[in-house]
Structure 1
């Protein structure tokens, strides 16, 4: 396991200040376009800097709203706006980008403790980015650069039978986790030209690894990846990640979200992400707010707040 204590947390700089922070993928205009393409119509709150609110039916019957990875600068005002938008009796699931203790005072109940993500700063020169790599990661990259590997970059093909999508689906079943449905990934690529970049590593004519990166505004997100045994032997994943980092930086992308850091169930992947020089950012956990109860259950919420900040 790794130490993800506050001492390792991302420092508060212009890149993490709530007023200037890059938007997460679930809060981007690109994601909203992809949702619309598959028939979903999220609510976009222009009074909250175009915050994206997803609407679902729980068990196919009970309406529910979800706000994922948003910066909740003014949570009280947000809850008021949601009621003004017709969600007076709709449970709202809140998963903020950063801890928001005020949610407990407003009557939201904690459901899940905060996860942590790895966020990579792409600023500076190639030399700066390489210097930020951890030593073992840098050594692995150097070996991959000397291996018989060729990296290609292209827009993600709009092909539901693409080998990377099939490999990712099989991996999800094997490891018992779920990410985006295949149709949403393809809709993102179709509705946002050039924003879904596929990096592939070849040994001769054989593809040995691939990585799909989604860009949104001045940010990017590590979406899915797969490496065959030969790719792992050659360090292809490191070479793909470095190629993506350099291409993104050249395109003016400043922040690269590498996703959740799970040091218990996916320690190898966590080491890989942190080896890039990424900082650890703690998310805000998951909360539920039900307007009919509101502040009346605030005392109960405060009993659980220690669990959210442990």
Structure 2
């Protein structure tokens, strides 16, 4: 087994990542965007008998001047034929060869649920944080099947919004609309006192694409001359990840987000994407948003957590 760090072939990374429906945090553009913002990123490709078996992208920080914390979020990305014993060996080799100064603290957050993890795979590792929850929507289904899978109340709100002739929905890779929506995101972060990735991350992510139209999509709803709601999706391989949304009072009353998400599903399917990752679900702190995501009928999954 060989672990290669440093100058790695981007095309091969993206091909493997796409084939395995890798998460946003393990995509090449995610790493490039963080590098552009001055964040240290290390990437590894793992080979077994001349076959690529895993990818791992680490985001690195120094703590207290002497701790090198390297986080592999929703990774590594595995070839489907890799056994639990091989995964265990890969974790060990990555920890040993990670090119950061001592004392190093490598953290792994597998992109699978606790039930999907074989105890052999994580033998010798300790869970230090509970898992992230999300909803994954299978876009390979037909539109009638996707609509049938919606929660009844969700579908009723969608039908009501779609029957309103005053609501116009658009989905497109518009840089102008993206900047406008990021401005709304800053406003709502300030109003609600919450934090997230810097909004400059999105511009850096889009700039890292050879064709910006393949990196994102903005959905927005209009009534007359007013824009009442918006959503932003980041595209990586065969997957799109929901990044943020906004709606004003009229948008909420008219269920504009239901119409926007449905329009986005149609658009993303048209691009040939196979999975829509709807992002974090937290029914305790964000019950409304969580119910909205769960109402799509996608697969709710709680990841296993973070291991050291």
TM-score by length of 1: 0.79
1:20 CA displacement:
6.4
What is residue 138 of structure 1 aligned with on the other side?
155
Change (3 A) 1:191 1:75: same
1:78 aligns with 2:79: no
Over residues 80-120 of structure 1, what are the superposed CA-to-partner deviations in whole Å (9 max), with x where a residue is unaligned?
A: 233124346411122211234457631x3322222321111
Equivalent of residue 53 in structure 1, options 58, 63, 66: 58
CA RMSD of aligned residues (A): 2.4
Which piece of structure 1 moves more, 204-213 or 60-69?
A: 60-69
Of Structure 1 and Structure 2, the greater strand share is in 2
1:189 CA displacement:
1.8
Paired with 1:21 and 1:135, the residues of 2 have a C-alpha distance of: 32
Give runs of aligned pairs for residues 1-310 of structure 1, distance below 5 A.
Answer: 21-47=20-46, 49-59=54-64, 62-71=67-76, 74-87=87-100, 89-98=103-112, 99=114, 100=117, 101-102=119-120, 105-106=123-124, 108-147=125-164, 148-157=166-175, 162-192=179-209, 193-194=212-213, 195-288=215-308
Change (3 A) 1:187 1:60: farther
- Do the aligned partners of 2:73 and 2:108 also contact (CA within 8 Å) in 1? yes
1:59 CA displacement:
4.3
What is residue 306 of structure 1 aligned with on the other side?
none
1:50 CA displacement:
2.7
3-state DSSP class of the match of 1:276? coil
Paired with 2:45 and 2:158, the residues of 1 have a C-alpha distance of: 44
Paired with 1:39 and 1:131, the residues of 2 have a C-alpha distance of: 45
Question: How many residues are paired up?
Answer: 269
Unaligned runs of 5+ residues in structure 1 are: 1-17, 289-310
Q: Which protein, 1 or 2, shows the higher relative CO under an 8 Å CA cutoff with sep ≥ 6?
A: 1
